[in-house]
């Protein structure tokens, strides 16, 4: 009996630990409990650093999200050694999931899968990859697309690429203003092939970017100090390339609080009329408070817009204010989402 009891206890502990691990957040994945309602900034404009050596493949830069500070940060594009001969990199991408933006992590595999239709440039023009190919165990670089020094790398070719994709720097799929592309059956099949996630160098590279405050959107206003690097993790030195300019597309969600949809309480249905009435009152009170906060922030932001107009502010000053308004609006909605979830949790416990 003691043995059976011990086995049951150990089994329960393993299951509990597994559930905890599965729900732990990562810097780039969607996190349970926080809805990201404002899409990432536009993709910045930058030059590609020269390829550091044979066998390195280009991985485009992208906006990741730091839940600790409620801010996007730029992970620079970089050259990475492929984990296996024949493997290509499918970039990660942000997509609207119906009520929040979710990040779909990139992966290495024998074919390029769907990456949201995002035009990352440098061969990743929204569909597939035209920057190079594997042949006979070696990667051949298309010099018309990639920055390769032929003195050091000889396996090159030059094929002009006609890019019919409009360069609008939009960094997300779906939602308001996002790319409308959908995966083809072939791309869906590629996603189900054997593939592996980012290698250790990529993970460390993303972590280095996360730890650098200059990479945050609220600091760099869409124009990161380091937009690309020659090698992973090298965010300083000659191999670090700054952005030439910020992207030119607007984020998907409202930039100002005046454009937010008002909160409306959901009608509870517990089967207990008295409890339903109580819960309805709680939700109405919370919604009224949150809508009042919408109006207060909207009034503050409108006052700042009027000040800019009176001062005849330049584009740089206007962009800085818009970025600040975007962050204020996003943080307000995330706080409201958490408040609603906490209220629902309390109501759920009250039903028991």
Do 277 and 334 share a domain, yes or no?
yes
Do 165 and 74 share a domain, yes or no?
yes
The number of domains in the chain is 2
Percent of all residues in the chain with a pLDDT value above 90, rounded to a whole number: 47
Residue 182 domain-assigned (yes or no):
yes
Helices (H) and strands (E) in the chain, counts: 6, 14
A 10 A CB-CB count for 183 gives 17
Do 68 and 214 share a domain, yes or no?
yes
Q: Which among 28, 41, 40, 43 is positioned nearest to 227, based on CA atoms?
A: 43
pLDDT value, residue 283 = 81
Do 223 and 304 share a domain, yes or no?
no
Domain that holds residue 309: 257-351
Do 130 and 218 share a domain, yes or no?
yes
Highest mean pLDDT among 108-112, 162-166, 305-309: 108-112
Residue 33 domain-assigned (yes or no):
no
Tens digit of each residue's pLDDT (9 = 90 or more) over 168-200: 789 999 988 889 899 999 999 999 999 999 999
Residue 20 domain-assigned (yes or no):
no
Residue 49 domain-assigned (yes or no):
no
Residue 14 domain-assigned (yes or no):
no
- Read off the pLDDT of each residue in 10-26 and give the average, rounded to a whole number: 35
- Domain boundary pick from 215, 241, 267: 241
Residue 42 domain-assigned (yes or no):
no
Do 225 and 78 share a domain, yes or no?
yes
Do 230 and 278 share a domain, yes or no?
no
Is residue 22 over pLDDT 50? no
- Read off the pLDDT of each residue in 148-172 and give the average, rounded to a whole number: 79
Residue 227 domain-assigned (yes or no):
yes
Kindly indicate the confidence band of residue 28, based on its pLDDT and cuts at 50, 70 and 90: very low
pLDDT value, residue 121 = 93
- Domain boundary pick from 207, 241, 275: 241
Residue 16 domain-assigned (yes or no):
no
Do 138 and 213 share a domain, yes or no?
yes
Tens digit of each residue's pLDDT (9 = 90 or more) over 55-114: 999 999 999 999 888 899 999 999 999 999 999 999 999 999 887 899 999 999 999 999
CA distances in angstroms from 249 to 117, 283, 285, listed in the order given: 15, 36, 37
Q: Which among 58, 109, 106 is positioned nearest to 84, based on CA atoms?
A: 109
Do 265 and 347 share a domain, yes or no?
yes
């Amino acid at each position: 009996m003691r043995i059976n009891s011990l086995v049951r206890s150990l089994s329960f502990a393993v299951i509990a630990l597994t559930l905890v691990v599965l729900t732990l957040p990562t810097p780039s994945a969607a996190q349970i409990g926080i809805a990201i309602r404002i899409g990432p900034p536009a993709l910045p404009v930058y030059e590609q650093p020269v390829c550091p050596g044979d066998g390195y493949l280009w991985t485009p830069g992208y906006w990741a999200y730091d839940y600790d500070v409620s801010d996007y940060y730029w992970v620079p594009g970089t050259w990475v050694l492929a984990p296996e001969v024949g493997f290509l990199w499918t970039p990660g991408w942000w997509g609207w999931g119906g009520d929040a933006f979710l990040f779909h992590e990139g992966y290495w595999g024998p074919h390029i899968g769907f990456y949201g239709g995002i035009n990352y440039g440098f061969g990743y023009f929204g569909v597939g990859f035209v920057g190079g190919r594997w042949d006979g165990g070696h990667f051949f670089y298309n010099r018309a697309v990639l920055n390769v020094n032929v003195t050091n790398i000889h396996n090159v070719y030059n094929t002009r690429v006609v890019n019919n994709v409009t360069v609008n720097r939009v960094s997300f799929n779906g939602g308001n203003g996002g790319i409308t592309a959908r995966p083809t059956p072939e791309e869906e099949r590629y996603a189900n092939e054997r593939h592996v996630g980012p290698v250790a160098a990529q993970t460390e590279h993303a972590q280095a970017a996360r730890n650098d405050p200059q990479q945050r959107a609220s600091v760099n206003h869409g124009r990161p100090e380091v937009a690309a690097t020659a090698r992973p993790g090298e965010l300083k030195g000659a191999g670090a390339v700054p952005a030439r300019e910020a992207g030119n597309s607007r984020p998907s969600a409202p930039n100002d609080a005046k454009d937010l949809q008002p909160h409306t309480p959901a009608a509870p249905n517990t089967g207990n009329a008295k409890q339903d009435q109580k819960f309805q009152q709680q939700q109405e009170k919370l919604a009224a408070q949150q809508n009042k906060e919408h109006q207060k922030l909207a009034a503050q932001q409108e006052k700042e817009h009027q000040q800019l107009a009176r001062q005849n502010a330049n584009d740089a000053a206007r962009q800085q204010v818009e970025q600040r308004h975007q962050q204020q609006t996003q943080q307000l909605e995330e706080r409201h989402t958490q408040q609603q979830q906490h209220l629902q949790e309390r109501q759920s416990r009250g039903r028991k």
